[in-house]
Structure 1
Amino acid sequence: MTDAPRIRISPDELARATSILTTVTSSYDEKVVGQKGLRTSLLIALMTGGHILLESVPGLAKTTAAEALADAVHASFKRIQCTPDLLPSDIIGTQIFDYAKSSFETQLGPVHANFVLLDEINRSSAKTQSAMLEAMQERQTTIGGVMHALPNPFLVLATQNPIEQEGTYHLPEAQLDRFLLKEVLDYPDFAEEVEILDRIQDGVFDRPSAHGSVHLDDVLFLQDAATRVYLDPAITNYIVSAVYVTRHAATYIAADLAECIDYGASPRASIAFSRAARALALLNGRDHVIPDDVKELRHVVLRHRIILNFEAIADDIAPETIIDAVFAAVQAP
């Protein structure tokens, strides 16, 4: 017996989704200056229930952005500073013996929140990183043999500092693949930095948003609505074709770029494209996906999924260069 096809999003539902997203965006923009790509990625992750890997130097508003989005939707927020001595129990929780009751009590860790910021995830040990896999993939933790469900929605934002690599632990490809998107942040421009100082002077960051907020029920509505945005079979073929080319690059793109790829993207990339493209279409006020949605997402979906070889890394060849070549080789519908 097969499941019934999902009903496409109605005009009234599209209007409600647009209203919710406008409120969230306005509240977010009041607290965060610039970083439009980060805002888009955060909203896509919110609507898809995916996780984001953020790469940037310190001080580019990653924590501020996560807190602003959590406040905009009345969600719980926790920040975890990753260090080499961080233990899995420090993240997921542990059992504490209560001498008065002569029994163990479970204390849930900070991962049990709607929004979790893992700051400098590559500074935590492989064992601690692996503890996050169950939380990210299964939406649960296991403490003392008992499973504890994570709240819904649940969103992990993990950060990496690309400058200081001493004492860090390389993120395994299996864990990288579990991040829906990877966003790379850059410094604000001159006008944006002036605006940041002006808002600090005016106390904007210390007071509640003037644009209001929504509730977690609205987020769950957005997540359901995003799954019902229409994805035409031609767009599906476009997605799969692009991911296929990453695995057979020598046939489709220039030899010098094809030789840089050790491994192409897995089917998780195709899944990520389809989920994120639906959310992006909804964010843009549409009930259907267009090829430009997929193309706009190409870097954030693929930059952490295409594995480059040592020569490419040594020659400082950016994965975005290869991704652009891949999409140039695939005809859009």
Structure 2
Amino acid sequence: MASHVAGRKEQMEVNMLVRDPHICQSINQNHCNRKYFPDHRLPDNVVATMDAKTAFTGADFCLHAVPVQFSGSFLEGVADYVEPGLPFISLSKGLELNTLRMMSQIIPQTLKNSRQPYVALSGPSFALELMNKLPTAMVVASKDKKLAKAVQQLLASRNLRISTTSDVTGVEIAGALKNVLAIAAGIVEGLDLGNNSMAALVAQGCSEIRWLSTKMGAKSTTISGLSGTGDIMLTCFVSLSRNRTVGVRLGSGETLDDILSSMNQVAEGVSTAGAVIALAQKYNVKMPVLTAVARIIDNELTPQKAVLELMNLPQVEEV
């Protein structure tokens, strides 16, 4: 996203706050993030820093891309440098374990500012394809329509369409749970269960996400839009998806520990799955596919037994 924004306007100064000194040096000296995008040159107006004060001073927007489970501790560390009017554009998808908080709750609560401007950015978008300037469409969600329009203008380009919505809950819940569904889709692939079961499982998962999100106050139209069905299709069916890859490897018989130790990026669905059972209970929603993923991750269920359980569920009227 830093590359995308910087590429739109040469005069725009884009500071990337990073943790790794080698990545920081690589970006500043070679205009390249050698860890994640070694074949892509970053615009000259992208500058990396490891100093939070430098990154935040004078900023007009903050693109927050820290994984959900680490966002609270990260924000605590930079809170002193965050202006109360600085808009946060969250790219992080998931639910915080134990608290079940969404990013729209984590950011203002951790910064101790209930009025911190907030926007959720979501939709079917692999970073690699955005870096390659392939056509992409996403959605920004904010309760503040004026802010949503401003972020739309900041991000929209010839290769990136940006829609707006006020349904923050729908966008965030769909963005979190689609990662769990992608693990389920990967398990089906890893077990080699075929296309029929894949289509049935993803359709059921979409319904479960809709049932829960609407109980939480979301609009059903959001779940059928870019941040819902659009993101679900991309994450469940394309091999670039980290969460789908975790599922494929689980279905193929690998252990979760071995899978996670071999990955250099976070698969948010693994952590978010732990929140699904609690949410299903809290809102009294039956979510057999997504809760099965949580039980597999917790070693309560094998992928093979999960399939048997799902196939033996009561056959009921479609809702």
Q: State whether TM-score is above 0.5.
A: no
- What TM-score do the two structures reach when normalised by structure 2? 0.30
Which structure would you say has the larger Rg? 1
Higher relative contact order (CA 8 A, sep 6+): 1
